[in-house]
Structure 1
Amino acid sequence: MTASLGFRWAERVVVRDHVRLSCRDWGGSGPDVLLLHGLAGHAGEWDATARALRDAGYRVVALDQRGHGSSERRPADVSRAAYVADVVAVVSELGLHRPVLIGQSLGGHTALLTAAAHPGLPSALVLVEAGPGGSNPGVQDAIGEWFSAWPAPFPSREAAVAYLGGGKRAVGEGWADGLEERGDGLWPRFDADVMVRSLDENATRTFWGEWAAVTCPTLAVLGQGEQGGIIGDEEYAEMVRLRPGALHGVSVPGAGHDVHLERPEVLHALVTGFLG
């Protein structure tokens, strides 16, 4: 057992095609929930949400997706299909019954594709700053340049929080929690080239067909802070058009892309209200 924020969670490991997948199992005896972090993130980003959902009566698991955190760092396959197959394997191996899939950013995209490919698997879908998107040929260069600019190793946690938070301490704390300590400082627990390759398909195509194939109730949580989120009005309007009556959307004022870190209490209230 490992201590986290004063509460306990157990590490559970699932191996699929020789790829190690590490999960934080928070326990609980109610309906199942699986939490999926975004690109370059880690399962610990969800600690506040996981604890609150467990205490509200859910059984909660958070996955370090392939290439991230305590999972396999350099998997050969980082296709969207591989991420989806990992979710299916975790659900099966950990005995999750029709879990609610909650994902932020790329994790939300993984949840969406899982719901499309396996309509009988989730009971509901929560997309936090995630959607079908449009092809973005420049996204990989932008992400690669961002990682290259990181002053790693960070000499201290405070330095990491200040840099990664961009003025928002809660965001910086969440990202800093994902770093690993070595003799010369704090380093990311991922390799930048793996992250860039994980976006191969997002750079070249859209996923509207998959979105239209989703059948379970869906909640979309969007950031509405000064810098805004990544889901624009046009994309959200098209999501509604393709699935009228099945999508519930909420914007969170004062929060940007990392809604789950900036306003975890608001996200918890939205999720439990939606599921209830």
Structure 2
Amino acid sequence: MTAVDATHVLHDGPWRHRFVAANGARFHVAEAGEGPLVVLLHGFPQMWWCWRAQIPALAEAGYRVAAMDLRGYGASDKPPRGYDTPTLAADVAAVVRSLGSDDAVIVGHDWGGWIAWSMPALEPAVTRAVAALSIPHPLAMKRSLRRSVRQLGASSYIWSFQLPFHPERHLSSGGTAVEELLRKGSGTSWPGVDDEGRDIVRTYTEAMQVPFVAHSAMEYYRWVVRSSVRSDGRRFVERVDQPVTVPVLHIQGSRDPAVLASTVRESTRWVQGSYRYFELEGAGHFLPEERADDVTALLLEWLATLP
């Protein structure tokens, strides 16, 4: 069996692969186009490739697009520490500066969306606007987990990720773990068992087998749970508990089984600036791929309105 390494995630396409030094680590970005910078942040269990439909479309529309592998994922560095949200936000800010830009529109899905929501509070100087897909404001999620039995049940997988060793071994085994996450999280638009569906499963299963990726992915979840009773978690809550005044685009799938639409709508408590919310009927959690055309159209329409 051929060993999987980071070169396996450098897929060809209408983009150029680039590595940038930022915040004490090296990050991989897939870059295309010229113009105002738009940074795309993926979620779990994916990588930069989830934005493959949006990268060329945004570049063609006149934007410089950088789809980034987050710390611990894909071809980016996988250090033993730094999976707390303030460090992840600092990573994104440093990548923006390393790409030679003063600021950027930050677009994120799932964990990428969690980071995007945090950017106006943690890294305001580089955050021009925020688009979040399939994720509420961090404090809306925390609030819902305390008050909503339905959201608590939908997020039950998070607790299994707190176990040592077992989750990462399961994810990196090359078995069906990643496929099950993708299928269970998707709505009616999942491509199913055709060639496209098999290619998607194979790509993400292989990406999770890159050394240290599965462990790094679990560290995101472990920090957000364990820090809730520590001083670093309290400091994070205090910092993001302020109005978001930059423009926000919020996209949610009506059939997302992991993050309920009712939870996502609570985000308005923390938004004071321009806010656009769209709920895609029948869509699940993995919107950039499930509803690629809709997501691209909504992003382009919104980006054109930004000052």
**TM-score normalised to structure 2 length:** 0.74
**Structure 2: runs of 5+ lacking an equivalent:** 1-9, 146-151, 185-189
Is the 2:96–2:102 contact (alpha carbons within 8 Å) kept by the matching residues of 1?
yes
CA distance in 2 between partners of 1:253 and 1:146 (Å): 32
- Greater strand share, structure number: 1
- Classify the secondary structure of the residue corresponding to 2:40: strand
Q: CA 1:50–1:198 in structure 2 vs 1: closer, same or farther (change >3 Å)?
A: same
Q: Given that residues 41 and 175 in structure 1 are in contact (C-alpha distance below 8 angstroms), is that contact kept between their aligned partners in structure 2?
A: no
Q: Does 1:230 align with 2:256?
A: no
Tell me how far apart the structure 1 counterparts of residues 22 and 118 of structure 2 sit (CA, whole Å): 18
Task: Give the stretch that moved more between structures: 117-126 or 239-248.
Answer: 239-248
Other-structure match for 1:69: 74
Indicate the residue corresponding to 2:270 in structure 1. Answer: 242
Match of 2:59 among 54, 58, 70: 54
Answer yes or no: is the 8 Å Cα contact 2:172–2:205 preserved in 1. no
How much does 1:81 deviate?
Answer: 1.4
Quote the offset at 1:201 in angstroms. 4.1
Alpha-carbon offset, residue 33 of structure 1: 0.4
Amino acid at match of 2:202: A
Contact map agreement 1:14 1:90 (CA 8 A) in 2: yes
Q: The residue matched to 1:41 in structure 2 has which SS?
A: coil
- Most deviating of 92-101 and 144-153: 144-153
Q: Deviation per CA, 1:139-191: give whole Å up to 9, x if none.
A: 5433367655448225xxxx79865542833676445324448xxxx835644
Partner in structure 1 of residue 245 of structure 2: 215
Task: Give the C-alpha shift of residue 270 in structure 1.
Answer: 0.8
- The match for 1:152 is 173
For residues 161 and 242 of structure 1, what CA distance do their matches in structure 2 show?
A: 33
Farther off after superposition, 197-206 or 38-47: 197-206
Matches within 5 A, 1:25-36: 25-26=31-32, 28-36=33-41
Tell which deviates more after alignment, 121-130 or 194-203.
194-203
- The residue number in structure 1 matching 2:7 is none
Normalized per residue, the structure richer in helix is 2
Count of aligned pairs: 262
The aligned residue for residue 281 of structure 2 is 253
Taking a change above 3 Å as real, the CA distance of residues 25 and 197 of structure 1, as seen in their structure-2 partners, is same
Contact in 2 for aligned 1:104/1:127 (Cα 8 Å): yes
Native 8 Å contact 2:42 2:111 kept in 1: yes
Change (3 A) 1:120 1:18: closer
| Contact kept in structure 2, 1:34 and 1:60, CA below 8 Å | yes
Question: Please, which moves more after superposition, 162-171 or 64-73?
Answer: 162-171
Quick one: which amino acid aligns to residue 218 of structure 1?
V
CA RMSD in angstroms comes to 3.0
Give TM-score scaled by structure 1 length: 0.81
